[in-house]
Structure 1
């Protein structure tokens, strides 16, 4: 099989396409012949050597990748509810940048007929993130006011749609005029282009009493103001720190990381009680062993796909051998929707 191997932390040049023996499905596992692979910003952080769960569970060398789509190639002992040749989506705790992957049965799901293979590969990570943030960490009610940063990206677009399904009023924040229409199409009631208008003045105008939920993956750049713009009982949900990462060059700027670490707000429990606000955070890679949670989330998400309530994001595809170009693009902050590697 072919797979991308990263021997050590570095820039795009450490992404090596190698040939390896095909893996074998063990008891309770499924071998998937991969046709498409979703690219996530976390993959770049893995490559830079800054992703804690990658260091905890794998170390070096590592093959990144959290999501794939393809067909069932073989079934391990005890797996009787799938057929060889079936179209599937699989989530992987690393190892996804490969032509074949072996995963536990509970991490494999039927690919919806409404999604082609590329759309299927781009689906699980961002939508699981959105579902967990909005259905596990909080309880959505119609009419809630929600602010979504990076609304035209993969997770941002999924958050817009999940919130829209619940009947919430959603304000999406984007970083360029070319992203406005994408956010609107995915369900934003209002789109703020932070490069063309004052982000926080505009955000306050649309929610004078504050937001019920703010979803922020930016880090030091916006966290303090995101918290300030919560209303009574509001929740700030954090799932990343993208602005601490480089937009070019592929290597972390450790001086900037140190400065942003100092700038990152610390939330005192006494203040949280007195302010009547909550701060929540999570990392999806730690949740993959939760078979019950994955099933509940994917059943609901795939049901929404079949009902036409979730639409796939805009896609840009790259051959697996051009993975460095995909990482360069997603790190630039200029992309819309999702990037997919083809095998």
Structure 2
């Protein structure tokens, strides 16, 4: 007998910028998919640093396109619940994963059919939920923004995190020489296992002395989501024709406490390097900056990336980083863990049926 479709779903809603207390678990009406949309009953949803930026009110695409209230979350795994009239290649019950322009922290998401793909058998639902955002970011940065050649020297900051883990593996897959930077000693062996040729532990080693010792001629590519703390030196350690790849500004935000220190952020902004095109021409170096959430309209790029990434996963060339799961009602705990800087790999929220006590708070 076919299961009766629920009229309600549960999702995390943020009504104004702030700390963990702004993450409210609420009950809302179930959406109805349009002609080219798919309704997904989620199993798990990925947690990314961008979600913290959304909660703090500093994520540009959230402010520009959504405003308050907002449900964060860019990625999910689960099963097709219902399809629109124009959808032909998916049917109810199919296991899928995909990306969404916000709204991921929910038991159900309604998304365009172009942003949903069959879940690879090699990934369980938790792994699939935490796969796409970081791997699409890494793929776009490395393979859709620059021309790579074997044996290029690459420096990856935050190599133990989600995007960093993906970058290390994609560099290894394409015969690049990759040095990973980590902020804690317990992450060193993990990054080595992912395939890094060398790992710098900046908690015990002088970062830039080690970076220069390992690659005295300079790096072809440096991936940096730290912000003012490292951007200037990252650029300085490029070789001629090198590219600085910028996709975040984590040091502008707090690592503990769940709130922005506006004084600290203002001081950090004053340290933000200004890259002069005339100087860059003379140095023969470049800076490339990107944000995955502004790429969702380029389904051609996303489709090409997912096709390659899925092929590599199925062939065993790319492994999923470590995954740590939390219940949807533990969303504040997940944000706190990610802000701590102590995690490796990916965090996900499981959206299994919620108990009355969880729904009440």
Q: TM-score, normalised by structure 2?
A: 0.94
2:294 corresponds, among 286, 297, 310, to 286
In 2, distance between residues paired with 1:182 and 1:19?
Answer: 39
Q: Equivalences for 1:126-137 in 2 at 5 Å?
A: 126-137=134-145
Query: Which of 226, 245, 250 is the aligned partner of 1:237?
Result: 245
Match of 1:115 among 114, 120, 123: 123
Q: CA deviation at 1:336?
A: 0.6
Shift of residue 328, structure 1, vs aligned partner: 0.4
Partners of 1:212 and 1:110 lie apart in 2 by: 35
Distance in structure 1 (CA, Å) of the matches to 2:337 and 2:115: 28
Question: What is the deviation of 1:208?
Answer: 1.1
1:150 Cα deviation after fit: 0.2
In structure 2, the residue matched to 1:41 is 49
1:285 and 1:212 map into 2 onto residues whose CA distance is: 26
Count how many residue pairs are aligned between Structure 1 and Structure 2: 343
Distance 1:29 1:139 in 2: 35
Give 1:88 shift.
0.5
Are positions 1:252 and 2:260 aligned together?
yes
Partner of 2:215: 207
| Counterpart position of 1:219 | 227
**1:2 aligned residue (10, 14, 18):** 10
* SS of equivalent to 1:36: strand
- Aligned Cα root-mean-square deviation (Å): 0.6
Q: Confirm or deny that 1:336 pairs with 2:344.
A: yes
C-alpha distance in 2, partners of 1:244/1:52? 14
Gap regions ≥5 residues in structure 2? 1-8, 352-361
Distance between the aligned counterparts of 1:22 and 1:269, measured in 2? 50
Where 1:322 maps in the other structure, the secondary structure is: helix
Q: In the alignment, what sits opposite 1:276? A: 284
In the TM superposition, residue 57 of structure 1 has moved relative to its aligned partner by: 1.0
| Shift in Å, 1:110 | 1.0
Q: How does 1:66-77 map to 2 (within 5 A)?
A: 66-77=74-85
1:162-177 map, 5 Å? 162-177=170-185
Alpha-carbon distance between aligned partners in 1 of 2:154 and 2:227, rounded to the nearest angstrom: 18
Deviations 1:308-339 (A, max 9, x none): 00001111110000000000010111111110
Q: Which 4+ stretches in 1 moved above 3 angstroms?
A: none
In 2: Cα distance, 1:248 partner to 1:293 partner: 35
Indicate the residue corresponding to 2:356 in structure 1.
Answer: none
Q: Equivalences for 1:130-149 in 2 at 5 Å?
A: 130-149=138-157
* Structure 1 residue 50, shift from structure 2 partner: 0.5
Cα offset for 1:198?
0.8
**What are structure 1's unaligned runs of at least 5 residues?**
none
Question: 1:155 and 1:24 mapped to 2: Cα distance?
Answer: 33
1:42-93 superposed Cα distances (whole Å, 9 cap, x missing partner): 0001000011100111100000000000011110110001121111012011
CA offset at residue 139 of structure 1? 1.4
Determine helix, strand or coil for the equivalent of 2:233: helix
Quote the offset at 1:15 in angstroms: 0.3
Q: Distance in 2 between matches of 1:26 and 1:151?
A: 40
Offset at 1:219? 0.4
**In 2, Cα distance between equivalents of 1:62 and 1:186:** 35
TM-score, with structure 1 as normaliser: 0.99
Q: In the TM superposition, what whole-angstrom CA distance separates every residue of 1:143-194 from its partner, at most 9, and x where no partner exists?
A: 0000000000000000001111100000000001110111111111100000
- State yes or no: 1:194 paired with 2:202: yes
Which SS does the other structure have where 1:200 is aligned? helix
Q: Which residue of 2 aligns with 1:327?
A: 335
1:27 CA displacement: 1.0
Does the residue aligned with 1:20 lie in a helix, a strand or coil? strand
For 2:299 and 2:346, locate their aligned partners in 1 and report how far apart those are by CA, in whole Å.
25
